[in-house]
Amino acid sequence: MNGLGGLNKSPNGVVIGLVQLQLPDVKTKADLTAQTARVVELVGKARRNNAGMDLVVFPEYMLHGLSMDTNPEIMCDLDGPEVAALKAACIEHDIWGCFSIMEANQNGNPFNSGIVIDNTGEMQLYYRKLHPWVPVEPWEPGDLGIPVIDGPKGCKLSLIICHDGMFPEMAREAAYKGAEIMLRTAGYTAPIRESWRFTNQSNAFCNLMVTANVCMCGSDGTFDSMGEGMICNFDGSTIAHGTTGRADEIITAEVRPDLVREARVHWGVENNIYQFGHRGYVAVKGGAQDCPYTYMTDLAAGQYRLPWEDEVKVTDGTSCGFDAPTRTYAPVRKEAAE
């Protein structure tokens, strides 16, 4: 059920629009300004497209394209003109928006950041990509954790970015902190199409959580992004999917956070997000609540090491033209507020 793409909106529904944005080629500050204006135009298109839309979601790299250029001239700040324009667009069109920026960082490489702005122009969610797509991406690893906010119509909303979604721990963390809808924005290209599809579905099913996912679309003359706007219900089924690869198409659906809440409370079989921490509760009162997973305890102790660790060949970005780093990781910020 998706309410005919959100055209028929129920009292408890949240209508999401996923913009399969045309992949830009941005090299200069003027290019960045022009691309920001294009995104602002499409916020207006989203509102005109569906009067009941609550949240419009733009893909990763919406302002910068896929060049991986870290030129300071085209990096953004939260208090800069690009974010100000996005805030103004959300106010003008009375809509929540999810946006992507490459964020300047005085202490190292830029961050790949995502923000959610409400319909009054206030930034409600701020996230920095935890898992840059190595060895291709040069971005600083995120240091804000995975924030979960009260989104449109009171839904619990979170955001991860692209490669983050290939780690099941990311979706589990979002759900564990209460997310009913998890957004995943991406710049992926066609070779990732199948893994994109099944991870979007598995992230939903394994956590009884709606996932709303969108990539850049079209070609910049070098790269070909795939669009693939995709909304998955909490049972893992796909309720909307942009399969045409048409740039700037907006894929829409109504989702029901109230039914997510109902399933999380009432499901017995496959209530995996609960059962993960209550193993075997049929046999043991309350279930076993230990941590039997070596990779978790080792990671927490700073001792994560694979049996084949010494055989891994690609361990920095030199294969993609980046200098080997010399800095060690030192997070500046504490985890984002819940």
**Domain locations in the chain as residue ranges:** 3-275
Mean pLDDT across 298-322: 97
Which residue among 87, 129, 140, 180 is the active-site one?
129
Q: Is 217 a catalytic residue?
A: no
Across 284-308, average pLDDT: 97
DSSP H or E stretch at residue 229: none
For residues 286 and 316, what is the distance between their CA atoms, to the nearest angstrom? 44
pLDDT, tens digit, 9 for 90 and up, residues 24-66: 999 999 999 999 999 999 999 999 999 999 999 999 999 999 9
Structure tokens, 39: 């995104």
Local confidence band at 333 (pLDDT 50, 70, 90 cut-offs)? low
pLDDT range class, residue 338, cuts 50, 70, 90: very low
Q: Span 3-275: which CATH code?
A: 3.60.110.10
pLDDT in tens, 164-202: 999 999 999 999 999 999 999 999 999 999 999 999 999
User: What does the block give as tokens for 167?
Assistant: 């780690």
The length of the chain, given as a count of residues:
338
Choice among 60, 103, 140, 180 that is catalytic: 60
Q: Residue 335: is its pLDDT beyond 60?
A: no
Q: Is 162 a catalytic residue?
A: yes
pLDDT digits over 257-267, tens only? 999 999 999 99
The question of whether 137 is a catalytic residue gets the answer no
Query: Backbone dihedral region of 327: left (phi > 0), alpha (psi from -120 to 50 degrees) or beta?
Result: beta
- What is the pLDDT at residue 5? 81
Q: Is 20 exposed, middle or buried (0-12, 13-18, 19+ CB in 10 A)?
A: buried
Tell me which of 76, 90, 155, 162 is the catalytic residue.
Answer: 162
The radius of gyration of the chain from alpha carbons, rounded to an integer in Å, stands at 20
Stretch 212-224: mean pLDDT, rounded?
Answer: 95
